[in-house]
Structure 1
Amino acid sequence: MSFSNHPQAPDGYAQTHHDAGVKRSNGPAVTALVLGVAALLLFWTVFGGIVLGLLAVVFGIVGARKARGGRAPHGKMSIIGAVLGALGLIASAVIIAIGASILNSDEFKNFDDCVQHADTQSERDACAKDFDRDVNN
């Protein structure tokens, strides 16, 4: 009686089964996909778009290189994760650029100055109305 977890060969010795053709899992590919989806969903935040997007691109490249070298499966998953991460990164960069341009505009500076000198809520409302008029014209 043998207490080995390996199947018994006809000669009574325990066999060890190693299949050289089986590929290992590709953790970077899965990580890239998860981070890419998160970056795309959270692109409107700096952390979500920039940080998660950048990490998704890096893990996607690592996973794709492992898959291309034959050391891991899921090369397409790596590429999809990297692309989603790049889209989240680009969308977040566009949001930041638009926000920065609005904050640096003359209209916003005038609005900010107006609100700082306003003493009542009606004066603040007038500032908002003037800002809206300046932006739309």
Structure 2
Amino acid sequence: MEVQSYVKIITEWDIVAARQMGREIAKQLGFGNVDQARIATAISELARNIYLYAVKGSINLEIVKSGEMQGLVVKAVDEGPGISDIRKVMEDGYSSSGGLGAGLPGVKRLMDDFSIESEVGRGTEIIAVKWLR
């Protein structure tokens, strides 16, 4: 996997930058408008979580190939407080910020592959992949 782009998430503008970068890479890879929007939305949600909860983190975008398949990997990495109950945050409707609670379950639905690792006091790493059809 080669790292294509990297955006540090410090301000709200960084969320916009990460989203735009993801959409642009998705477009270059040949994703259609609907999948570009899905990818951009997932990136926006992951970056927003970093901004709200972790204060310090990044969105890494990588192109991945697996046999004949090609895709875009979105990796959200932070040094935040970590998630103590991953099962709970993956429930539809759960929100710790008073938001809609579409967050991580929404990202999982928008993307093809999804994994989350978190350690309390150390941070969180979320990897989401969208495969080109």
- In the superposition, the TM-score normalised over structure 2's length comes to 0.24
| Relative contact order, higher structure (CA 8 A, sep 6+) | 2
Decide which structure has greater helix share: 1
Larger radius of gyration: 1
- In the superposition, the TM-score normalised over structure 1's length comes to 0.23
Decide which structure has greater strand share: 2
